[in-house]
Structure 1
Amino acid sequence: MTLEVKVREKQLVARYASSLIRDGEVVGLGSGTTAAMFVRELAKRIKNEGLKVIAVPSSIPIKLLALSLNMQVASLDEYPVVDVDIDGADEVDRRLNLLKGGSYGVFTNEKILASSSKKFFIIVDHSKLVKRLHTKFPIPVEVLREARELVFRKISKLGGEAKLRTYRINGEEIPLITERGNFIVEAWFRSIDGGFKKLDRELKEIPGVVETGLFLDMADAVYIGVGEKVEVVNRGEEVPEQLIEWSK
């Protein structure tokens, strides 16, 4: 799958998702490249159609983008119930479970926003489809700084390997700090006994763990860019096997 095709599919689902937004709604804005495309498409509708929406962003970069596009921005303190939240994902399995938290890791914010929304819709290009979560990406875990070593040990006892998410600046590896001032620990598991719900619960039981990037049984629908069309999979349905095979 070429980068050009991937970008085109992202733009397609972003435009499709923007068409679902109705006048007067409070809209959650997820984070990441596909979510940013949705923000731009929604801003076009606001400008061209006079659509009135209130945007609740999940991160500082998305908030700044929305403000730069003259969108009305608010917080969950002001609007604790959101009508619809549109977000992307790093992996989507056939039952619409998600793995999120790539790049700068605002998945805690995203999960709070999604859980505060009446509807939670995911937009992805078809390369994000997987038979099983944790196929391509580690499970990100947001961790209080002083709990880092404890979390490393506990993840090891659960059968995983953990490392701190870092970025390079001036040749030096620097720990990534989240908007909440925490670290991101990346966990890899060769096998997961008992399934992802059990693992998610065990990770959250570790003192100092804030949240994980596993979004299980949360999505109401996933909109998938496939070539020149959008495939819609609703809660209770499964992603067609051929789409998952094609995504490899």
Structure 2
Amino acid sequence: MSSSRVRREKELVARYASSLVKDGQVVGLGSGTTAAMFVRELAKRVMEEELKIIAIPSSIPIKLLTLSLAIPTASLDEYPEVDIDVDGADEVDRSLNLLKGGSYGVFTNEKILAASSKMLIIIVDHRKPVERLHTRFPIPLEVLKDARSLVFRRLKEMGGEPRLRVHKMNGEEVPLMTERGNLIVEVWFRNPEIGFKELDGELRRIPGVIETGLFLDMTDMVCIGVGEEVRVFKKGEKLPEELITYR
């Protein structure tokens, strides 16, 4: 798979999504590489067209990027209603449900922003459509530090295989902390018949679990880069068979 193809697809969907933003809107900004490309495309419109917007970033890196590009930036406290939110995803199923949080671990922030938005637009390259969520990636959970042992025990009782997300620091593996100072626990469930709505509710009922990386029934539009084309699907539409990469 060509990395240049993937980058090109990300650029195309980022540019397409930026064209949907209207003057005077409050715009939510997701996190990740594709979302960062969207921010750069949006900055071009702000500069070249004098587009007037307010950006609400979902993470510190995206906030720093918006500030560096001179995009007016605010918080949800200041603008609690967002007109349009543009974000990426790790997996998108046929019904436009999402699995997020595979890399950046800011899915709690992203979910709050998405829930505050009138329209959630997801931009992805051709690798992201799947027949079923939780095919390529574990489900991430943001977890309070003191609840780690309890959460691991409950997940195992549910048939899950949990692990702590770690990263290298000074040559040693240490827990990766979220911007809120919490842990990220990743869990695999091998049961192919699992229902994600029920699972999501059960996971969030575990004391100490703040949020999950499952975004169910939240997406209004998905834009998929396929070669030199952008395929667009709206809420209620199903992704076609030929776009499903993983089954």
State if a TM-score over 0.5 links the two structures.
Answer: yes
Q: CA deviation at 1:193?
A: 4.7
The equivalent residue for 2:16 is: 16
Give the gaps of 5 or more residues in structure 1: none
The equivalent residue for 2:237 is: 237
Distance in 2 separating the partners of 1:181 and 1:123? 28
Q: Does structure 1 residue 43 correspond to structure 2 residue 68?
A: no
Is the Cα contact below 8 Å between 2:31 and 2:104 reproduced in 1? no
The equivalent residue for 2:70 is: 70
Distance in 1 separating the partners of 2:157 and 2:193? 13
Q: Does structure 1 residue 196 correspond to structure 2 residue 196?
A: yes
CA deviations over 1:43-88 (Å, ceiling 9, x no partner): 0000000000000000000000000000000000000000000000
The equivalent residue for 2:170 is: 170
Is the Cα contact below 8 Å between 1:104 and 1:176 reproduced in 2? no
Q: Superposed, which structure 2 residues align to 1:43-192 within 5 Å?
A: 43-191=43-191
Distance in 1 separating the partners of 2:2 and 2:186? 27
Moved more, 236-245 or 212-221: 236-245
Give the ranges of 4+ consecutive aligned residues of structure 1 lying more than 6 Å apart after TM superposition: none
Number of aligned residue pairs: give it: 247
Distance in 1 separating the partners of 2:193 and 2:11? 38
Distance in 2 separating the partners of 1:173 and 1:123? 32
The equivalent residue for 2:209 is: 209
CA deviations over 1:104-163 (Å, ceiling 9, x no partner): 300000000000000000000010110000011010000000000100000001111001
CA deviations over 1:8-48 (Å, ceiling 9, x no partner): 00000000000000000000000000000000000000000
Q: TM-score, normalised by structure 1?
A: 0.98
Q: CA deviation at 1:183?
A: 0.2
Q: Superposed, which structure 2 residues align to 1:22-41 within 5 Å?
A: 22-41=22-41
Is the Cα contact below 8 Å between 1:12 and 1:225 reproduced in 2? yes
Please give the secondary structure, in 2, of the residue aligned with 1:16: helix
Distance in 1 separating the partners of 2:85 and 2:206? 29
Q: CA deviation at 1:168?
A: 1.0
Q: CA deviation at 1:100?
A: 0.1
What one-letter code is carried by the residue in structure 1 that aligns with 2:125? D
CA deviations over 1:180-216 (Å, ceiling 9, x no partner): 1100000001015550000000000000000000000
Distance in 2 separating the partners of 1:104 and 1:15? 22
Give the gaps of 5 or more residues in structure 2: none
Aligned CA-pair RMSD: 1.0
Distance in 2 separating the partners of 1:103 and 1:146? 23
- Percentage of identical aligned residues: 70
Please give the secondary structure, in 2, of the residue aligned with 1:82: coil
Q: CA deviation at 1:169?
A: 1.9
Distance in 2 separating the partners of 1:171 and 1:76? 37
Distance in 2 separating the partners of 1:143 and 1:113? 19
Q: TM-score, normalised by structure 2?
A: 0.98
Q: CA deviation at 1:171?
A: 1.9
Distance in 1 separating the partners of 2:193 and 2:162? 17
Distance in 2 separating the partners of 1:228 and 1:178? 35
Distance in 1 separating the partners of 2:225 and 2:104? 24
